[in-house]
Amino acid sequence: MSAPAGQSDAPVLTAHRAGLSGCHRCGRVWPQDQARCHRCGAHLVAPDRRGLQKVWAWWLAGLIAYIPANVFPMMSTQTFAGLAGNSEATILGGVVELMHYGNYDIALIVFVASVIVPVGKFLAIAWLAVVAGRPASVDQAHSRLKVYEVVEFIGRWSMIDVFVVAILSALVQLGFVASIRPGPAAVSFALSVAFTMLSAQSFDARLIWRGLPLRPRREP
Protein backbone atom coordinates (compact mmCIF):
# COMPACT_ATOMS: atom_id res chain seq x y z
CA MET A 1 0.00 0.00 0.00
CA SER A 2 1.48 3.32 -1.04
CA ALA A 3 1.22 6.60 0.78
CA PRO A 4 -1.10 9.30 -0.60
CA ALA A 5 0.30 11.54 -3.29
CA GLY A 6 2.24 14.49 -1.94
CA GLN A 7 2.29 13.09 1.59
CA SER A 8 5.27 10.72 1.26
CA ASP A 9 7.69 13.58 0.57
CA ALA A 10 6.23 15.94 3.16
CA PRO A 11 8.47 16.30 6.23
CA VAL A 12 7.11 15.51 9.68
CA LEU A 13 7.35 18.89 11.36
CA THR A 14 7.19 18.80 15.14
CA ALA A 15 7.10 21.76 17.50
CA HIS A 16 10.69 21.07 18.55
CA ARG A 17 11.94 21.10 14.96
CA ALA A 18 9.96 24.28 14.33
CA GLY A 19 11.76 25.97 17.22
CA LEU A 20 8.68 26.07 19.44
CA SER A 21 8.01 25.02 23.01
CA GLY A 22 4.62 24.38 24.62
CA CYS A 23 3.57 25.61 28.04
CA HIS A 24 2.70 22.78 30.45
CA ARG A 25 0.18 24.93 32.32
CA CYS A 26 -1.95 26.60 29.65
CA GLY A 27 -0.83 24.87 26.44
CA ARG A 28 0.23 28.04 24.62
CA VAL A 29 3.12 27.61 22.18
CA TRP A 30 6.10 29.97 22.32
CA PRO A 31 9.56 30.20 20.72
CA GLN A 32 12.15 28.02 22.46
CA ASP A 33 14.34 30.99 23.35
CA GLN A 34 11.56 32.41 25.52
CA ALA A 35 11.95 31.72 29.24
CA ARG A 36 8.41 32.30 30.51
CA CYS A 37 4.88 32.05 29.20
CA HIS A 38 3.38 35.50 28.73
CA ARG A 39 -0.12 34.14 29.24
CA CYS A 40 0.20 32.36 32.62
CA GLY A 41 3.76 33.18 33.70
CA ALA A 42 4.88 29.53 33.87
CA HIS A 43 8.52 28.64 33.24
CA LEU A 44 9.08 27.17 29.77
CA VAL A 45 11.33 24.12 29.56
CA ALA A 46 12.33 22.41 26.34
CA PRO A 47 12.01 18.60 26.24
CA ASP A 48 15.24 16.91 27.29
CA ARG A 49 16.04 13.20 27.65
CA ARG A 50 18.11 13.99 30.75
CA GLY A 51 14.80 14.55 32.52
CA LEU A 52 14.26 10.78 32.32
CA GLN A 53 16.71 10.41 35.21
CA LYS A 54 14.05 11.83 37.51
CA VAL A 55 11.51 9.42 36.03
CA TRP A 56 13.77 6.43 36.72
CA ALA A 57 14.58 7.70 40.24
CA TRP A 58 10.92 7.92 41.28
CA TRP A 59 10.18 4.64 39.47
CA LEU A 60 12.92 2.80 41.39
CA ALA A 61 11.76 4.33 44.70
CA GLY A 62 8.22 3.15 43.98
CA LEU A 63 9.43 -0.34 43.12
CA ILE A 64 11.46 -0.56 46.34
CA ALA A 65 8.43 0.55 48.40
CA TYR A 66 6.20 -1.94 46.58
CA ILE A 67 8.26 -4.93 47.79
CA PRO A 68 7.50 -4.56 51.54
CA ALA A 69 3.92 -3.68 50.60
CA ASN A 70 3.54 -7.26 49.40
CA VAL A 71 5.66 -8.89 52.13
CA PHE A 72 4.26 -7.29 55.29
CA PRO A 73 0.61 -7.58 56.37
CA MET A 74 -1.78 -5.21 54.65
CA MET A 75 -4.50 -5.71 57.24
CA SER A 76 -5.18 -7.58 60.48
CA THR A 77 -8.58 -9.13 61.12
CA GLN A 78 -10.36 -10.12 64.33
CA THR A 79 -13.53 -12.13 63.92
CA PHE A 80 -16.43 -12.51 66.34
CA ALA A 81 -14.89 -10.21 68.96
CA GLY A 82 -11.73 -12.31 69.07
CA LEU A 83 -13.49 -15.65 69.59
CA ALA A 84 -12.17 -16.95 66.28
CA GLY A 85 -8.71 -15.53 66.85
CA ASN A 86 -6.72 -12.85 65.12
CA SER A 87 -4.99 -13.07 61.75
CA GLU A 88 -2.75 -10.91 59.61
CA ALA A 89 -2.81 -11.06 55.85
CA THR A 90 -0.71 -9.68 53.04
CA ILE A 91 -2.32 -8.23 49.92
CA LEU A 92 -2.91 -11.60 48.29
CA GLY A 93 -3.73 -13.18 51.63
CA GLY A 94 -6.27 -10.44 52.28
CA VAL A 95 -7.88 -11.12 48.91
CA VAL A 96 -8.22 -14.81 49.80
CA GLU A 97 -9.60 -13.94 53.24
CA LEU A 98 -12.16 -11.52 51.83
CA MET A 99 -13.30 -14.22 49.41
CA HIS A 100 -13.53 -16.64 52.32
CA TYR A 101 -16.05 -14.34 54.02
CA GLY A 102 -17.99 -13.92 50.80
CA ASN A 103 -16.82 -10.39 49.92
CA TYR A 104 -16.02 -11.26 46.32
CA ASP A 105 -16.61 -7.76 44.96
CA ILE A 106 -14.25 -6.15 47.48
CA ALA A 107 -11.69 -8.90 46.92
CA LEU A 108 -11.74 -8.26 43.18
CA ILE A 109 -11.32 -4.51 43.69
CA VAL A 110 -8.39 -5.00 46.06
CA PHE A 111 -6.71 -7.51 43.72
CA VAL A 112 -7.04 -5.31 40.65
CA ALA A 113 -5.97 -2.12 42.45
CA SER A 114 -3.16 -3.77 44.46
CA VAL A 115 -1.60 -6.13 41.92
CA ILE A 116 -2.73 -5.61 38.35
CA VAL A 117 -2.75 -1.80 38.29
CA PRO A 118 0.61 -1.23 40.09
CA VAL A 119 2.46 -3.87 38.07
CA GLY A 120 0.94 -2.51 34.87
CA LYS A 121 2.02 1.02 35.79
CA PHE A 122 5.57 -0.12 36.53
CA LEU A 123 5.83 -1.86 33.17
CA ALA A 124 4.20 0.99 31.23
CA ILE A 125 6.34 3.76 32.77
CA ALA A 126 9.52 1.74 32.28
CA TRP A 127 8.61 1.06 28.64
CA LEU A 128 7.83 4.73 27.98
CA ALA A 129 11.12 5.80 29.55
CA VAL A 130 13.05 3.31 27.41
CA VAL A 131 11.44 4.19 24.05
CA ALA A 132 11.18 7.97 24.66
CA GLY A 133 13.04 9.83 21.93
CA ARG A 134 13.84 6.69 19.95
CA PRO A 135 13.03 6.47 16.22
CA ALA A 136 9.35 5.82 15.60
CA SER A 137 6.68 6.25 12.99
CA VAL A 138 3.69 8.53 13.47
CA ASP A 139 1.46 5.56 14.33
CA GLN A 140 3.97 4.28 16.88
CA ALA A 141 4.17 7.73 18.46
CA HIS A 142 0.39 7.85 18.77
CA SER A 143 0.42 4.39 20.38
CA ARG A 144 3.00 5.53 22.92
CA LEU A 145 0.94 8.60 23.68
CA LYS A 146 -2.14 6.45 24.30
CA VAL A 147 -0.15 4.32 26.77
CA TYR A 148 0.94 7.49 28.57
CA GLU A 149 -2.67 8.73 28.74
CA VAL A 150 -3.79 5.39 30.20
CA VAL A 151 -1.07 5.61 32.87
CA GLU A 152 -2.21 9.13 33.73
CA PHE A 153 -5.84 8.01 33.90
CA ILE A 154 -5.37 4.98 36.16
CA GLY A 155 -3.03 6.91 38.46
CA ARG A 156 -5.97 8.56 40.22
CA TRP A 157 -7.40 5.12 41.09
CA SER A 158 -4.19 3.65 42.48
CA MET A 159 -5.09 4.32 46.12
CA ILE A 160 -8.48 2.64 45.93
CA ASP A 161 -7.36 -0.47 47.84
CA VAL A 162 -6.00 1.66 50.71
CA PHE A 163 -9.38 3.41 50.66
CA VAL A 164 -11.13 0.03 50.87
CA VAL A 165 -8.98 -1.00 53.85
CA ALA A 166 -9.82 2.32 55.53
CA ILE A 167 -13.53 1.69 55.01
CA LEU A 168 -13.21 -1.83 56.37
CA SER A 169 -11.35 -0.46 59.38
CA ALA A 170 -14.42 1.62 60.22
CA LEU A 171 -16.21 -1.62 61.04
CA VAL A 172 -14.19 -1.71 64.28
CA GLN A 173 -16.19 1.19 65.65
CA LEU A 174 -19.48 -0.31 64.48
CA GLY A 175 -18.86 -3.69 66.11
CA PHE A 176 -19.78 -5.84 63.10
CA VAL A 177 -18.80 -9.47 62.61
CA ALA A 178 -15.25 -8.78 61.44
CA SER A 179 -13.00 -6.03 62.70
CA ILE A 180 -10.22 -5.04 60.30
CA ARG A 181 -7.23 -2.80 60.91
CA PRO A 182 -4.66 -1.56 58.40
CA GLY A 183 -1.23 -3.16 58.64
CA PRO A 184 2.29 -1.77 58.05
CA ALA A 185 2.11 -2.68 54.36
CA ALA A 186 -0.55 -0.02 53.84
CA VAL A 187 2.05 2.71 54.46
CA SER A 188 4.52 1.09 52.06
CA PHE A 189 1.85 0.73 49.42
CA ALA A 190 0.78 4.35 49.79
CA LEU A 191 4.41 5.44 49.36
CA SER A 192 4.77 3.20 46.31
CA VAL A 193 1.68 4.75 44.74
CA ALA A 194 2.92 8.27 45.48
CA PHE A 195 6.35 7.54 43.98
CA THR A 196 4.92 6.00 40.81
CA MET A 197 2.59 8.98 40.40
CA LEU A 198 5.57 11.33 40.68
CA SER A 199 7.41 9.17 38.16
CA ALA A 200 4.55 9.43 35.67
CA GLN A 201 4.23 13.18 36.23
CA SER A 202 7.98 13.62 35.72
CA PHE A 203 7.77 12.03 32.28
CA ASP A 204 7.73 14.64 29.51
CA ALA A 205 5.26 13.39 26.89
CA ARG A 206 6.85 15.69 24.32
CA LEU A 207 9.78 13.27 24.13
CA ILE A 208 7.45 10.84 22.38
CA TRP A 209 7.48 13.03 19.29
CA ARG A 210 11.25 13.54 19.28
CA GLY A 211 11.75 10.19 17.55
CA LEU A 212 9.69 10.97 14.47
CA PRO A 213 11.63 10.75 11.19
CA LEU A 214 12.29 13.85 9.19
CA ARG A 215 10.18 12.29 6.48
CA PRO A 216 7.44 9.67 6.86
CA ARG A 217 8.55 6.14 6.12
CA ARG A 218 7.27 4.76 2.84
CA GLU A 219 5.10 1.72 3.18
CA PRO A 220 5.86 -1.17 0.80
Query: Do residue 109 and residue 22 come from a single domain?
Result: no
In CATH, what number is assigned to the domain containing residue 67?
A: 1.20.140
**Does some domain include residue 220?**
no
pLDDT confidence tier of residue 179, bands split at 50, 70 and 90: low
Query: Do residue 13 and residue 102 come from a single domain?
Result: no
Mean pLDDT for 183-187 is: 81
Higher pLDDT, 211 or 67: 67
Give the pLDDT score at 59.
95
Query: Do residue 29 and residue 78 come from a single domain?
Result: no
Determine the Cα–Cα distance for residues 124 and 148; give it in Å rounded to an integer: 8
Judge whether residue 208 has pLDDT over 90.
no
Determine the Cα–Cα distance for residues 179 and 70; give it in Å rounded to an integer: 21
Q: Residues in the chain, how many?
A: 220
User: What is the per-residue burial (b if ≥16 Cβ within 10 Å, else e) of 180-203?
Assistant: bbbbebbebbbbbbbbbbbbbebb
Query: Do residue 30 and residue 58 come from a single domain?
Result: no
Judge whether residue 123 has pLDDT over 90.
yes
Query: Do residue 38 and residue 51 come from a single domain?
Result: no
Give the pLDDT score at 101.
77
